[in-house]
Amino acid sequence: MPREDSLTPEGITGDALADTLASIADSEPLVHHLTNEVTMSETANVTLCWNGLPVMADAPAEAGEMAAGADAVLCNTGRMTEEDVGAMIAAGESANDVGAPVVLDPVGYGATSFRVSAVDRILEAVDVAVIKGNRGEIAGLAGEAASVRGVESVGEHDSIGPAARALADETGAVVVASGETDVVATAERAYELAVGDERMGTFVGSGCMLGSTLATFASTLGDGDAPPATATDAAILAVIAFGFAGERAADAPGVAGPASYRTAFIDAVAALARERPTLPVRDRIRALDRE
């Protein structure tokens, strides 16, 4: 993927989101997941609800071949072995060869030396379009002091905007840092997206589902004149759509706790993909200072 020089929120509108959802439905993109067993059901279901086609072919003997026929590839390092790392690299290199975008979710980066080494090797071998992580993972990847306990971010990481831009500059990827508010950054600009609901963090798998959403939206890149035009646009639209689904789920009747909220969230994703409403997306975007 070529390096992108600017972030263009002017192109992010409710109509663009609706058009992107229509493009996904029309193309039914194949999204190849190399991910962890803990959240595999959640990631498959959210991809399907966005109208993508999930596949989880992580065996080294077929990972590269499957990626060659996919419209996007997601590499999630939540639970992996040395063999899994090889499969991710093979799939990523194959996706690069055919021009399919690769999304990397470096789950638990910084928690162990093996995870740090594995993610670094993937980034060295694969041209990644989008890197998505929690604030601790992104700060750690950017070379800053970060606190990650297990796979969870610990601490505030208030300088996440500059850290995300630094990581984008180093890798050429669009960087998504998730948290109470999400940040999307290129090397030049960073934007904070105020969308979602706090209950999105009450069940296991929501972060992994965002990775799948990013890959599904990125799969539409290059579909003629339809949005999104860039990986940056795709990332912003994906995060906003994901957050609006979280808000809609919070208002659903019968939501009493994490389990019912999780079900309502998946239903909300499917409803947004089906209805394609024109949402006030620009109201949720705030430019962060360059400094």
56 assigned to a ligand binding site:
yes
41 assigned to a ligand binding site:
no
Amino acid at 22: A
Nearest-angstrom CA–CA distance, 5 and 2: 9
Question: CA 259: distance to chain centroid?
Answer: 23
Nearest-angstrom CA–CA distance, 42 and 45: 5
132 assigned to a ligand binding site:
yes
- DSSP secondary structure, 165-200, as one string: HHHHHHH-SEEEEESSSEEEE-SS-EEEE----GGG
Q: What are the C-alpha distances in Å from 182 to residues 57, 62, 194?
A: 30, 34, 7
Tell me whether the omega of the peptide bond preceding residue 227 falls within 30 degrees of 0, making it cis. no
Annotated binding site for ATP: which residue ranges?
Answer: 132, 178
Annotated binding site: which residue ranges?
Answer: 56, 132, 178, 205
Annotated binding site for substrate: which residue ranges?
Answer: 56, 205
